[in-house]
Amino acid sequence: MDDVDESFAAMFRVEYARTVRSVQAMLGDVARAEDVAQDAFVALLRQWSEVSKYDQPGAWVRRVCFRKALRVVHRDYVRARLERLLHLGVVVPDHSTGVVDRRTLASAITALPARQRAAVILHYYEDLTVAEVADVIGCSPGTVKVHLHRARQALAVAVKGVTSDA
């Protein structure tokens, strides 16, 4: 293997599974997430000579993946189930019991508009900063804050009594 092939292969080994998991959380379907990730990695390979020079080439491929995923959601009006979140043990405080059922939370996240859903997943699940989320989904940081605020409000209503402050 030459240096270009090996450097791309190393990037693929580091980023592919993580990228698929994130996109799966967005789409709710591992097969579709794999398709989106594979398309993004093909684009990455085509542009590897340039992207490999970036400080964080993994961020580039995640940005491409999430933009592709948003197009999938928009085109197909996907209301994907977020089964991955169920397996991650996501819990949210509730005033009465202290915990919201994970299925309720997953359903509530699934019902969010695509950009709000992407912002929630990237910010809370991927632990990206607001600026990083903005870069991934292609909007301003202020817009991300609006998406997160509206998503928290919708989630609070959907899971009955959870505060919308984060």
CATH number, domain 84-166: 1.10.10.10
pLDDT bucket at 165, cuts 50 / 70 / 90: very low
Percent of the chain with pLDDT over 70: 76
Mean pLDDT of 37-41: 92
- Which tokens belong to 154? 């919708």
Which positions ≥6 away from 79 have C-beta within 8 Å?
110, 111
Higher pLDDT, 2 or 158: 158
Mean pLDDT of 7-17: 89
Model confidence at 80: pLDDT above 50 = no
Domain spans in the chain, listed from the N-terminal domain onward = 1-80, 84-166
- The predicted model scores a pTM of 0.51
Instruction: Round the average pLDDT of the chain to a whole number and report it.
Output: 78
Mean pLDDT of 63-72: 86
Cβ–Cβ under 8 Å, residues 93 and 99: yes
